[in-house]
Amino acid sequence: MDPLDVMMTKEKVIPYYQPIFSADKQLVVGYEVLARLQTEEGDKSLGWFFQDKNIPDEYRLELDEHIQKRALDDFMGTDQSTFLFFNYDTSLLLKDNGDTFIKTLESYQQKGLKLQQIVLELKEDDVAEHFFDNKHFFYYIQSFGFRLALDDVGHNGSNLDLIAMFKPNIIKVDVSFMEDEEFPHLYSEVHQSLSMLSRKIGATLLFEGVSSFSQLNYAWRNGGRYYQGFYLRSPSSTFVEPGCCREKMQKEFHHFIVYERKKMEAQFTLTNDLTTQLKQTMKTFSPDDTYDEMIKKVAKDCDRYAFRIYVCDAEGFQQSSNAEKNDQKEWVLLEEGRFKNWSWRPYFLENIMRMNIEKRGFLSDLYTDIERDERIRTYSYPISDNLYLFLDIPYNYLFEQEGLL
């Protein structure tokens, strides 16, 4: 279709609203406004019109303004208390210093619109392209009181530094690329980091493109507070009843929780088994055992769980060699590990403190062992107030048990 035709039939361009749901209340928390063209064959998406940078800026600005006004009329006419999300091309916004958009909002503000209910969506790639030359502009538009969402985050790999500086209120991640795939755990690692960063800078993580049960599960597991997608509700020309997905979400959350609980139980069981085993083994320690003799005894007794064992003091200095299982499944002592320091590792000191206070062993999260390049967990146990045992559990073992991956 020709862009000019769209402009000629502007009155047939109407807003559609895709509901966004919040995990905490399971209610509609907002709507993303999407442009649709009414045709004889039904309403057609106009996404292409706004993404095509060859279409003259004036056209796109004019149609944006048209859609925003239609949407704001609907929004205020039906007295919504939710957010309204508008997409905007960053370079268009920069071109007129945000004037068109801000003027539109201000004209509705006089009619009672609260700017805090408006969310402006800008694509991460576009913001990345313009941020460093226009920092003042981006801080300036944050001063009006509407919210900012960074859209399509992680599309081409994430710019964590950009996100930290831009400080969006909402971070939108599209999960539709995962359709029908076994989710590679790598995505999950990236989205977990994004979730941590969001938490640190006070942003809310929103997963969009949710079109299946497993994608909703993925969003829930990775710290998403808001969800958007066909699986919950398709866009429509009207606003929906806020509680329309409440029952469905509660039911799904229940499934997620039952499943996660089983995984946690498996981790507790393994922790307990290892603790029982270690207590037994420690009874065989004699006062003149060297640290290496101790870990050899542990290796013998914990053979089926471990591929690497060592002990550290409370400051993270390794006191023993590494006991490691070689390719022939024999335990060997590797001396070069001794006196290395591990206190720089994430969670290390926190873990030592917990062992010290609670006097019990802990199982780590799943992480990738640098040397073996495989996902492992580490079990740690306080042998004394100043001596801590670390036992690395291989992927193979975790894989064979239910719920440890």
Where along the sequence are the contacts to Ca ion (CB under 5 A)? 87, 121, 151
Structure tokens belonging to residue 69: 């006004």
CB of 385 to Ca ion, least distance (A): 55
CB 34 → Ca ion: shortest distance, Å? 8
Classify 98 in phi/psi space as left (phi over 0), alpha (psi -120 to 50) or beta: left
In eight-state DSSP terms, residue 142 is G
Write the CB contacts of 275 (distance below 8 Å, at least 6 apart in sequence). 360, 361, 381
User: Is residue 346 within 8 Å of 367, Cβ to Cβ?
Assistant: no
* Shortest Å, Cβ 150 to Ca ion: 10
Nearer to Ca ion, 74 or 151 (CB): 151
CB neighbours (10 Å) of residue 172? Answer: 27
Cα–Cα dist 245/373, whole Å: 42
| Contacting residues for 307 by C-beta, under 8 A, at least 6 apart | 324, 325, 372, 392, 393, 394
Structural tokens at position 370: 């640098």
Alpha-carbon gap, residue 250 to 371, rounded angstroms: 42
What's the min distance (Å) between Cβ of 52 and Ca ion?
Answer: 16
Please, which residue, 123 or 377, has the CB nearer to Ca ion? 123
Between 151 and 324, CB nearer to Ca ion = 151
Q: Which is nearer to Ca ion, 209 or 337 (by Cβ)? A: 209
Asked if residues 320 and 311 have their Cβ atoms less than 8 Å apart, the reply is yes
Shortest Å, Cβ 127 to Ca ion: 13
How far is the C-alpha of 126 from the C-alpha of 160, rounded, in Å?
Answer: 15
- Strand bridging mode 42-45 / 118-123: unpaired
Minimum CB–partner distance for residue 70 and Ca ion (Å): 17
Toward Ca ion, which CB reaches closer, 169 or 380? 169
In the complex with Ca ion, the residue whose CB is nearer, 86 or 220, is 86
Rg of the Cα trace of the chain? 28
Q: Which whole-number Å values give the CA distances from 278 to 35, 156, 317, 366, in the listed order? A: 64, 47, 21, 21
In angstroms, what is the minimal distance from the CB of 277 to Ca ion? 53
- H/E run at residue 368: strand 367-369
Sign of the torsion angle spanned by Cα atoms 370, 371, 372, 376: negative
Rounded least distance, CB 141 to Ca ion, Å: 17
Q: 114: phi > 0 → left, psi -120 to 50 → alpha, else beta; which? A: beta
Residue owning tokens 């361009």 = 13
Q: Which is nearer to Ca ion, 87 or 380 (CB)?
A: 87
Q: Which is nearer to Ca ion, 174 or 324 (CB)?
A: 174
Look at the alpha carbons of 197, 380, 186, 263 in this order and tell me if their dihedral is positive or negative. negative
E strand or H helix that includes residue 84: strand 83-87
Q: Which two tokens stand for residue 126?
A: 């576009």
Name which of 122 and 270 has its Cβ closer to Ca ion.
Answer: 122
Nearer to Ca ion, 151 or 252 (CB): 151
Task: Tell the smallest beta-carbon distance from residue 20 to Ca ion (Å).
Answer: 11
